[in-house]
Chain A
Amino acid sequence: GESVGLHLPTLSVQEGDNSIINCAYSNSASDYFIWYKQESGKGPQFIIDIRSNMDKRQGQRVTVLLNKTVKHLSLQIAATQPGDSAVYFCAVGFGNEKLTFGTGTRLTIIP
């Protein structure tokens, strides 16, 4: 089965700086990758996704990079704001299998 891990459980970033959150997965056949944001007291919220036929995808202030060679996924948040403080985790999918979720990185924005 798939296993998904995050490199850092916590990350503190100065407001206005860029944040990079990393995720590693084990199944080289995985073909769908999603980043979620979970604020305190709320359920996870979809941020951005990417499929295995791409290596980069950009959204509003967020970019996801996929390196299939080393089975690594990252989320970049540009010009971080206080509202970006949350737990971020990746989810990895393969075919019709259910998504496998990582344990999350808690991002703290320092004013």
Chain B
Amino acid sequence: KAGVTQTPRYLIKTRGQQVTLSCSPISGHRSVSWYQQTPGQGLQFLFEYFSETQRNKGNFPGRFSGRQFSNSRSEMNVSTLELGDSALYLCASVRGIGTNEKLFFGSGTQLSVL
């Protein structure tokens, strides 16, 4: 099976712009979770989508949004970029739920905001 595919790998944006990141989960997985990874904060949960519906949401401002398509591919969008949004954004293909949850991560999109 192919793994989790995230595009693009790298992005450079300036403050105030908006960005869209894409994730294709493992074939057959219907759930996708997004995480923000920074050196100081580690992995912070953004949101989770299951069958095109947001199932869980982390503690991030409304500038961060996402969606999932019928083929399970997911996108996340960040509007009005701030310097602090610079981070590695990871998508995980999710199997199971709760303590049976298994996360399979993509290689991430490295976003730099100048």
Contact = CB atoms under 8 A, between A and B. Distances in A.
B99 A43 contact: no
B4 A32 contact: no
Interface in B59-114: 90, 92, 97-99, 101-108
A96 interface: yes
Contact of B97 (A89, A96, A104): A96
B105 A43 contact: yes
Contact of A41 (B39, B42, B107): B107
Contact of B107 (A31, A43, A91, A96): A43
Interface stretch (A44-52, A56-64, A74-82): A44-52
A43 B48 CA distance: 17
Interface band, chain A: 20 to 34
Contact of A32 (B42, B43, B56, B99): B99
Contact of B42 (A31, A42, A89): A89
A95 interface: yes
B99 A42 contact: no
A63 B102 CA distance: 19
B4 A43 contact: yes
Contacts of B48: 98
Nearest to A49: B102
A99 interface: yes
Interface string B19-61: 0000000000000010100011111110010000000101000
A88 to B, nearest CB: 12
Interface of A: 4, 31-32, 41-46, 51, 89, 91, 93, 95-99, 101-104
15 contacts: A42-B107, A43-B90, A43-B106, A43-B108, A44-B43, A51-B99, A93-B98, A93-B101, A95-B99, A96-B97, A97-B98, A98-B45, A98-B58, A99-B103, A101-B43
